Amino acid sequence: MARLVMVIDTRKCVGCMDCVVACKTENNVPEGFNRDWITTEVLGKSPNLQMEIRSERCNHCDNPPCVYCCPTGASHIHDYGGVILVEHELCIGCKACLASCPYDARFIHPDGYADKCTFCIHRVEKGMNPACVDVCPTHCMYFGDIDDPESRVSKLISTRKYHTNIPEAGTKPQIYYLT
Amino acid sequence: MNELSHTRTNHLIDPSMHVWGWEIPVYLFLGGLVAGMMIIAGYFLFMGRHKEPKCSCFYLPIISTIVLSIGMFALFLDLEHKLYFWRLYTTFQLKSPMSWGAWILVLVYPALFANILIRPPEIISNKFRLIASLSEKINRMKNSTRLIGILNISLGVLLGVYTGILLSALGARPLWNTSILWMLFLISGLSAAAAFVHLIAKDVQEREMLAKADNTFLTVELIVIILLIVGALSSTQAHIDAINIILTGPFAASFWVFVVGLGIIIPLIFQVLAVQHKIIHTPVFPIMVIVGGLILRFIIVYAGQYSHWSHTVLGK
């Protein structure tokens, strides 16, 4: 079984927002909404400042509260790669999944259903990368199967320092940020 | 300085989450009120008080049916994909408290209907012969009222408990993520229901009984609130920050004044004096209890959405 994850090198990311634009274009994300975004964190006191830029999105968690709280089964774990998806025709728009996500990664699409990053599953199933990964000009994003020890993502995780976002929430997020 | 900024601008999510408006607290309040009324009416049936001609257990299930339907309509208004609401009833999701709730509501209505059948209002039984004959059959059955009483108490407890678990299961919101929330909502539902029945009861003895019961419920509610606060303050930083939203933060004034002060402590003091016959019963204090229960749901739902885990990484 494959487990698809994303690895993002925060040492290379410059926060250019190409990933954001690529996602909006590829997935027809409605105006005013984002499936992915850039977070900039600054720590310290000038001139001793530390900064991290992160391209963030749904963490496609291994322990996904959005799937568990869904009353209709619309939010589900996809058969391939453990990707978290929403079946639009099953979603009643109750917004429990929006409230259950510690990353605030979901939103209500103007058509009424819960929407979020799909890891561009329509591309991935054709053997392509998610749009955000392919357009990144600094090549700071990697996508692949973490269960395969020979994959690039596995090798990066085993050789570099990394963190995930809000691991204390217990969701087992699957986006790894190299530091 | 540890500053975090992001480029996301999603509606209802940014700058702070507010996915649930007035509909959810209103539903949670009305659901809790109905739960309390079912428990009270069920208790009266179980104790055989239905033999009293003025017993409120005859009209409570009718009021409950109407109130619950209003609450469910509020819930329907909250849905963003309204035409698909029936999808709730094509599946049962074991891990989803909302799915449990949807099915509990399906069971609550027949329990209320069974309670109505014990002595249906004359206007209805005269018009619908079927209801009159069903009522006769139920009354002829041995122990039927006691069983309907137990059924109403059980489903009332389930309904009241689920309204709390619905929120407490959402671990992303630290204010809600406490296993005592169901107890707070159940006891608050019971105190609001006791206050409501106290207001409308025709039997003087019953009114007195409910005032006494409400005093007990309000005392327990106060203890549960203290336990909720102590639990959060002795938990993680996220839980401490979350409880401070209502203790000292933007919701503090409304919480202390309307929920604790005017919703629990003041009515408790005056109702204790009233049951000791030192002052007369007035509708003011039961109304304050009911309004306090409604404001409690608003504060918990709104402040809970506002609470979150820290998104910072560098400072950790």
B269-286 pLDDT, tens digit per residue, is 999 999 999 998 899 999
**What was the pLDDT predicted at A74?**
97
Rounded CA-CA distance B147/B133 in Å is: 19
CA closest to B77 among chain A residues? A94
The pLDDT confidence band at residue B245, using thresholds 50, 70 and 90, is: very high
Residues of A in contact with B3 (CB under 8 A): 41-43
Rounded CA-CA distance B236/B316 in Å is: 13
> Under an 8 A CB cutoff, do A71 and B305 touch?
no
Residues of B in contact with A42 (CB under 8 A): 1-3, 314
Rounded CA-CA distance A105/B212 in Å is: 48
Q: B63-67, B126-130, B218-222, B304-308: which range is least confident on average? A: B126-130
B258's tokens: 């309307």
Closest Cα of chain B to A21: distance in Å?
A: 12
Rounded CA-CA distance B221/B210 in Å is: 16
φ and ψ at B99, to 5 degrees? Answer: -65, -45
User: To which residue do tokens 């570099």 refer?
Assistant: A160
Look at residues A34, A19, A100, A18 and name the one whose alpha carbon lies nearest to residue A64: A100
φ and ψ at A148, to 5 degrees? Answer: -95, 110
Angstrom distances, CA of residue B231 to CA of B179, B187, B218, B227, B302: 10, 18, 20, 6, 20
- Mean residue pLDDT across chain B: 94
Nearest to B312 among A41, A71, A94 (CB): A41
Nearest to B96 among A42, A70, A108 (CB): A70
Rounded CA-CA distance B199/B220 in Å is: 21
> Under an 8 A CB cutoff, do B98 and A94 touch?
yes
Rounded CA-CA distance B265/B225 in Å is: 12
The pLDDT confidence band at residue A122, using thresholds 50, 70 and 90, is: very high
Cβ A54 vs Cβ A45: under 8 Å: no
Interface residue A178 vs chain B (CB under 8 A):
no
> Under an 8 A CB cutoff, do B11 and A69 touch?
no
Residues of B in contact with A40 (CB under 8 A): 4-6
Look at residues A55, A52, A53, A67 and name the one whose alpha carbon lies nearest to residue A23: A55
Residues 64-103 of A with CB under 8 A from B: 65, 68-74, 89-96, 98-102
Amino acid at A128: M
Angstrom distances, CA of residue A47 to CA of A42, A156, B1, B3, B117: 12, 31, 12, 15, 78
Cβ B164 vs Cβ B184: under 8 Å: yes
Give residue-wise pLDDT tens across range B165-220. 999 999 999 999 999 999 999 999 999 999 999 999 988 889 999 999 999 999 99
Look at residues A133, A146, A178 and name the one whose alpha carbon lies nearest to residue A9: A178
What average pLDDT score do residues B2-12 get?
Answer: 94
Please say if the pLDDT value at position A1 is more than 80: no
**pTM (whole model) above 0.90:** yes
Element (H, E) at A6: strand A4-9
User: To which residue do tokens 């085993």 refer?
Assistant: A158
Please say if the pLDDT value at position A29 is more than 90: yes
End-to-end CA distance of chain B: 13
Give residue-wise pLDDT tens across range B147-161. 999 999 999 999 999
Cβ A117 vs Cβ A23: under 8 Å: yes
Angstrom distances, CA of residue A14 to CA of B23, B156, B292: 42, 56, 51
**What was the pLDDT predicted at B141?**
85
φ and ψ at A59, to 5 degrees? Answer: -90, 5
